[in-house]
């Protein structure tokens, strides 16, 4: 039995309609189920603040500050190279850009030490 274009369009419409109805039914059913199951979960004591067990320690915060400073220094180099900002002298512009690259490389090294401080302390030889 060959299908013509009109019967194919009707079939696609019926399939899409059924999928929409089923999605709506099961979507609402899933939400209702979560609501009912939440009624039976134990409630935390009143006045207790739920503090996340994992907080960022100082080493990670230092790492993030180093990465932020790297972004700032990169932006300064980009502005200097594009001509937005300048020292006024080509030679001092070159020195300034080289200084920024040196500081960026130092920050990369220091941030790596901050991120892996515990590993560094294990292998460090004094």
- CA distance linking residue 85 with residue 90, whole number of Å: 12
Q: Is the pLDDT of residue 2 over 70?
A: no
* Rounded-to-integer distance, Cα 95 and Cα 69, Å: 19
What DSSP character marks residue 46?
Answer: T
User: What digits encode the pLDDT tens for the residues 7-55?
Assistant: 888 888 888 887 778 777 777 667 767 777 777 877 666 555 454 445 5
Residues sharing a CB contact under 8 Å with residue 60, sequence separation 6 or more, in sequence order: 114, 115
**What's the pLDDT band for 126 if we cut at 50, 70, 90?**
low
What pLDDT sits at residue 52?
47
Q: Where in the chain are the domains?
A: 1-44, 58-123
Structure confidence by residue, pLDDT tens digits, 49-78: 454 445 557 777 888 888 889 999 999 999
Structure confidence by residue, pLDDT tens digits, 83-116? 888 888 889 999 999 999 999 999 999 888 888 7
pLDDT of 31: 73
């Amino acid at each position: 039995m060959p299908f013509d274009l009109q019967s194919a369009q009707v079939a696609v419409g019926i399939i899409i309609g059924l999928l929409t109805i089923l999605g709506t039914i099961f979507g609402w059913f899933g939400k209702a189920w979560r609501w009912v199951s939440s009624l039976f979960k134990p409630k935390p004591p009143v006045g207790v603040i739920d503090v996340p067990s994992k907080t960022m320690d100082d080493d990670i915060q230092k790492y993030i500050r180093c990465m932020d400073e790297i972004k700032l220094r990169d932006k300064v180099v980009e502005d200097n190279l594009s001509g937005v900002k300048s020292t006024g002298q080509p030679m001092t512009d070159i020195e300034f850009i080289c200084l920024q690259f040196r500081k960026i490389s130092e920050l990369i090294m220091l941030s790596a030490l901050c991120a892996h401080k515990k590993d560094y302390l294990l292998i460090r030889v004094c």
